[in-house]
Amino acid sequence: QVQLVESGGGVVQAGEALRLSCAASGILFRVNTMGWYRQAPGKQRELVATISSSGSTNIADSVKGRFTISRDNAKITVYLQMNSLKPDDTAVYYCNADGTYFNGVGFSSWGQGTQVTVSS
C-alpha cells in the first residue's frame, strides 16, 4: 500500500500561517493527483485543494487567495501553505493521493491527519 505521512499542524493565532507537508512512500506505484481535505468536529470531510501531476490546481472557494498547494514530484510530497488563517480553518487536515499501481490497479490513499487549530 501507499503510505502518506502528514506534518506541520499546530496551534496558531488568527492571521498567522502554517505549512503542511505530506510525503508518500511505497513501491510500484504512480501518483496522479494529490490533495488536502479537512474535517471539523461534527462535519463531513471537505476538499481544500488538489494538485495534478502536471501542476494544475483546484482550490476551495473558502480558502482561495489564502492557501497554496504545491508538490515535489521527486520526493512525492505535497505541501499546503496556509496564510491568513481563520478560526473557521480549525480542523483535522488529511492528505490524499490518487494513483495507479504498476499492475494497473488504482488506489486512493489517506494520511492519518494533522490537527490545525486557529485561535482568535
Q: Which three cell numbers stand for residue 75?
A: 520526493
> What pLDDT, on a 0 to 100 scale, did the predictor assign at position 1?
85
- Coil, strand or helix: which one is 96? strand
Among residues 113, 116, 96, which one has the least CA distance to residue 24? Answer: 96
Structure confidence by residue, pLDDT tens digits, 47-96: 999 999 999 999 999 999 999 999 998 899 999 999 999 999 999 999 99
Cα separation, 109 vs 120, in Å, equals: 33
